Structure 1
C-alpha cells in the first residue's frame, strides 16, 4: 500500500538504492526539467526520475498513474494481504481451478518458464523452505533446521505442481506460491508502461533495487547504473554500466544472512535442496528488456552459482555479470551478451 507519494522538481540527483544497486545521476538542465516521485511499496521503496516539461495537471496524471500501477500489483500479488488474488489462490483447495487476472497469470507464466530453463533453480513455491530457515515473513530466531525438517518442507516445494491453462491456475498438490522473486520486477514494468502511456519517454524507475530505463538524460547522456561492490560493511562501486531502454536486476547474499557456530548461512535457499547456497557467487546482475524477467533470472543464477549460472547465461544468450569471491578478493565473469554494456572508460575494482 502506498502511504505517501512525493513529487518535486530536482536539481542534481543521487538515488541510493536499498539493495545491491544505486544510480549515479549527473547534473541536469533546467530545460527539460527533472522530476522525482518516491514512496513506500512492497515492503521497500520506489524512486522514479523523469525528464520533460509538464504542467501541474499532467504531473498529477503521472503521479496517479504510477500510484495506481504499483497498487494494482500489490493488490493482486501480495502474500501479506489475505484478500489479494495470490493469497486467495494459496487458500484454494488442491485441484480447484482458479481464474487469475491477466497480470498475475503473466507473472506466473514467466516464473514457470524461468523455472524450466534454470532446472528448477527458480521456484515460486520455495516459501516453505525459506520460512524454515527464518528468512520469510514468519521470521524466528536464527536456527539451523535438521534434515527431517528440511525434508518435510521440501514436500511443499514444487513449481511443477502449478498447471496454468490460459489464465486458469490449478495446483496438483499442496504448495504455497510466493511471487516476491519476480513481482517486484513486474511492478517496475507496470510503472514503465504507465509512463509510456502518458507520453513520458525519458525516465528511470527503481523499486527495491530493480531498475528500468527509457530514453536518455539531457544532453544525450545515458543512464549510468553502478553495480555495488559485494561487501557487507560499505557501499562502493564495482562497475558502471550504461543503459537506454533496458531493465536491470541484481541478486546477492552478502547482506542478508545469519551465522551459527561460526558458519554463515545465506538467505538464498536452493529450492532443489531446501538449504542455503554454499558456492562463492556473491552477486549477479542481469540486463534484459523487461524487469520481471531480469528479476527472476537474477535469482535463478544466484542459486545456480558461478559455473552453472554462467553456462545458463551463455546457453540462453543472457546479459549477465557475475562477481565471485576468491581467496584473493573478487573476480568477475561476464557473459558474451553483457560485453556491450561495459564502459571502457571505467576501471574495475577487483580487490
Structure 2
C-alpha cells in the first residue's frame, strides 16, 4: 500500500509534464486535399486547418458546387448551359443572365477595351473553325474565305450589357474559355472564405488563387512551367499570398499540319492562331478571372505590345519568349515582388 501511495504522485507529475509539453508544442494544422475533373481539365484544392469530418464534407461540397455551377452557366460544350442558350438566342432580343455570368461578361468587355480587342469573348466562331472548341479538329486548315466569314462574327462591341440583360446587335458566338476558368477559381475561393478557411490554394487547370500562408508562415510557392510540350519542368518559382495567378501559352494545346504548328490561342483581330514568338505569359492579379483574361490578352498581343500594355497598366506579368538560342524571360516592373529567387540571365531588370 505504501509503495502504491508513493508511486501515485510521481505518475501524476509525469502526466502533467507531458500535457504542458504538448501545450507548448502545438501540432501545426493539417493539410486537406480535394480534387476532381472539371471544365475538361481538373481541380486541386489544398486547405490547412483543424477541421472535423462535417466541416471537411462542407468544404468538399462547396468546392464541387461552385465549380459545377460555373460549368452549367458558362460551358459551350453543354447545349443547355446559360451561355449556349444566349448564343442560340435571336439578335436584338435582351437575354436575362444570372448575376455570375453578367459579372464575367462585364469584366470581359472591360478587358476587351483595355487591350483594344486583343481579348474578345466573341472569338467563338473562329475558335470553332480552327477546331479548339466543341467542334472537332477540321479535316484541313481553314481557307481564307472561311476565316473571313468567321471573323465577321467576332466583335465584342456587339454585346450590350444593361444590368443582367445581355443583347447582341449582330450574330456573335460568345466563348468564355479565356476567363471562366479563372472565375471558377474565384468562386471556390469565395466559398472557402465563407466557410472560414484562412489558408488555402485553389488550382483549376493551372489557374491559381491563394489565401494566407502555409502553417510555417511561409508564402505559397508556385512554379511557372517551362513552355515546352515534351516535358514538365520549372522555369521560375513565385511566392504568393492572397493573390491569383494565371498563365496563357501556346505549348500545350495545339496541332500540326504539313509541318506547321497551330496554337489554340486565336487572335480576334485576324481570326487565326498567333504566330509570334511569345511562348507564355503569366499574370498575377487580385482576382483569377482578371489574371486569366489579361494573360490571354497579353499572349495575343505578343512580346513588345504585350509588355507595353503591362507597363502602362501596371500589370504584374512574366513573359517567356522563344529565340534562336532557346528562351528568354521579360518581367514587368509590377511582377518583381513575386519572384522567389534572383532573376535569371536575360530577365528584364
Structure 1: stretches of 5+ with no match in the other structure: 1-28
Tell me how many residue pairs correspond in the alignment: 322
The alignment's TM-score, normalised by the length of structure 2, stands at 0.89
Distance 2:137 2:241 in 1: 42
Map of 1:41 onto structure 2: 38
| Contact in 2 for aligned 1:324/1:332 (Cα 8 Å) | yes
1:130 deviates by 1.3
Map of 1:242 onto structure 2: 239
Distance 2:346 2:132 in 1: 31
Spell out, residue by residue over 1:288-311, the C-alpha distance to the aligned partner (whole angstroms, 9 max, x if none).
Answer: 001001000111111000001001
2:280 pairs with 283, 289, 306, which one? 283
Map of 1:201 onto structure 2: 198
Map of 1:52 onto structure 2: 49
Distance 1:212 1:293 in 2: 11
Runs of 4+ residues over 6 Å off in structure 1: none
Distance 1:84 1:267 in 2: 23
Map of 2:310 onto structure 1: 313
Map of 1:157 onto structure 2: 154
1:255 deviates by 2.2
| Contact in 1 for aligned 2:222/2:237 (Cα 8 Å) | yes
SS in 2 for 1:227: strand
1:141 deviates by 4.2
Structure 2: stretches of 5+ with no match in the other structure: 1-25
SS in 2 for 1:110: helix
Distance 1:341 1:43 in 2: 29
Distance 2:240 2:328 in 1: 23
The alignment's TM-score, normalised by the length of structure 1, stands at 0.89
2:62 pairs with 65, 75, 81, which one? 65
Spell out, residue by residue over 1:32-75, the C-alpha distance to the aligned partner (whole angstroms, 9 max, x if none).
Answer: 01000111111111000010001111111111111211121111
Distance 2:137 2:318 in 1: 33
2:88 is the counterpart of 1:91: yes
Query: Relative CO higher for 1 or 2, CA cutoff 8 Å, sep ≥ 6?
Result: 1
Q: Do the aligned partners of residues 171 and 277 (structure 1) sit closer, same or farther apart at CA in structure 2, a change above 3 Å counting? A: same
| Contact in 1 for aligned 2:130/2:138 (Cα 8 Å) | no
1:349 deviates by 9.4
| Contact in 2 for aligned 1:239/1:349 (Cα 8 Å) | no
Map of 1:26 onto structure 2: none
Map of 1:233 onto structure 2: 230
| Contact in 2 for aligned 1:239/1:348 (Cα 8 Å) | no
Between structures 1 and 2, the one with greater helix share:
2
